[in-house]
């Protein structure tokens, strides 16, 4: 175990973060880089990806990819090389009443939020298992804990990613791999821009949160640092809800 003052020092570690061009993933990329990691940034938004990567140079590399496409995921895993920390963060939401949800949107949410992270975890995790070293953090959602109006499929993918976390932790624990999940509450990012721009939605949401503020991407990044660090050496298979208390009621 590292001495206390070096628990959050990630020097010499390689962290692969998906969805790193924006919001929570970008904050995580910046946080891991600030703590000494070499960050491998992956996203489908090439322009935004380039900008974050250049801010973090020289301790970064970037790979455009589409988490809905298996060939693209395989190419990312091959290009990333050895990975110590994998953060499966990229995700999408399409809000619609169940009967109005478009079939293509439904399939895409399942592909991006569930099938893609599972595929990437298998590819990157295989090498971790061989080396008997590594840790994985999935990004779920508070929406996995309650019924979620107009997010039937989105919330289902997030329940599934928490469950996948448990099983991967169970299977790979004996190989020295920890797998955990962060379930963010409503966080101020592009994903929520339309929702947060609606004054009625903004107020109603805020009233549900005991800590009386929406989450910041840095709130999630700090927990990712903790879960990836040796401070969390005995935590695996867990979903940490980071929501200011939203799900308590």
Residue 113, burial from CB neighbour count under 10 angstroms (0-12, 13-18, 19+): buried
Shortest spacing between CB 132 and ligand NAD, in angstroms? 28
Looking at the Cβ atoms of 93 and 209, the one nearer to ligand NAD is 93
Q: What CA–CA distance (Å, rounded) separates 218 from 105?
A: 29
DSSP state of 209: -
81 phi/psi in degrees, rounded to 5: 70, -145
Shortest spacing between CB 4 and ligand NAD, in angstroms? 30
- Mark whether 234 is an active-site residue: no
Tell me the β-bridge partners of 184: 242
Shortest spacing between CB 2 and ligand NAD, in angstroms? 29
Looking at the Cβ atoms of 118 and 129, the one nearer to ligand NAD is 118
Shortest spacing between CB 191 and ligand NAD, in angstroms? 3
Q: What CA–CA distance (Å, rounded) separates 160 from 144?
A: 8
Shortest spacing between CB 204 and ligand NAD, in angstroms? 15
Q: How many Å from the N-terminal Cα to the C-terminal Cα in the chain? A: 38
- Give Cα separations from 237 to 7, 51, 127, 230 (angstroms): 21, 34, 19, 15
Residues whose CB falls within 8 Å of the CB of residue 44, separated by 6 or more in sequence, listed in order: 64, 65, 66, 67, 90
Report the interface residues with ligand NAD, using CB under 6 A: 19, 21-25, 43-45, 65-68, 89-93, 112, 139, 141, 184, 186-187, 189-192
Looking at the Cβ atoms of 76 and 169, the one nearer to ligand NAD is 76
Looking at the Cβ atoms of 7 and 206, the one nearer to ligand NAD is 206
Query: Active site residue: 154, 202, 214, 234, which one?
Result: 154
- Count CB-CB contacts under 10 A for residue 190: 12
Looking at the Cβ atoms of 95 and 131, the one nearer to ligand NAD is 95
Q: Annotated active-site positions, please?
A: 154
């Amino acid at each position: 175990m590292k001495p206390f003052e070096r628990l959050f020092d990630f020097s010499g570690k390689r962290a692969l973060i998906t969805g790193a061009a924006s919001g929570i993933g970008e904050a995580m990329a910046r946080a891991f880089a600030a703590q000494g990691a070499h960050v491998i940034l992956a996203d489908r938004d090439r322009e935004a990806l380039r900008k974050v990567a250049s801010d973090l140079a020289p301790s970064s590399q970037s790979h455009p990819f589409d988490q809905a496409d298996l060939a693209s995921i395989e190419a990312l895993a091959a290009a990333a090389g050895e990975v110590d920390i994998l953060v499966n963060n990229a995700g999408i939401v399409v809000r619609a009443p169940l009967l109005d949800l478009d079939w293509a949107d439904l399939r895409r949410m399942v592909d991006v939020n569930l099938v893609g992270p599972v595929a990437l975890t298998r590819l990157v995790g295989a090498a971790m298992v061989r080396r008997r070293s590594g840790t994985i953090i999935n990004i779920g959602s508070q929406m996995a804990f309650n019924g979620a109006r107009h997010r039937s499929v989105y919330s289902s993918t997030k329940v599934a990613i928490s469950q996948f976390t448990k099983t991967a932790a169970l299977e790979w624990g004996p190989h020295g791999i920890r797998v955990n999940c962060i379930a963010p509450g409503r966080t101020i990012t592009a994903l929520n821009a339309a929702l947060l721009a609606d004054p009625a939605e903004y107020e109603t949401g805020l009233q549900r949160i005991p800590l009386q503020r929406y989450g910041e991407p840095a709130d999630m990044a700090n927990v990712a640092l903790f879960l990836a660090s040796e401070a969390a050496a005995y935590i695996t298979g867990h979903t940490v809800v980071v929501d200011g208390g939203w799900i308590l009621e």
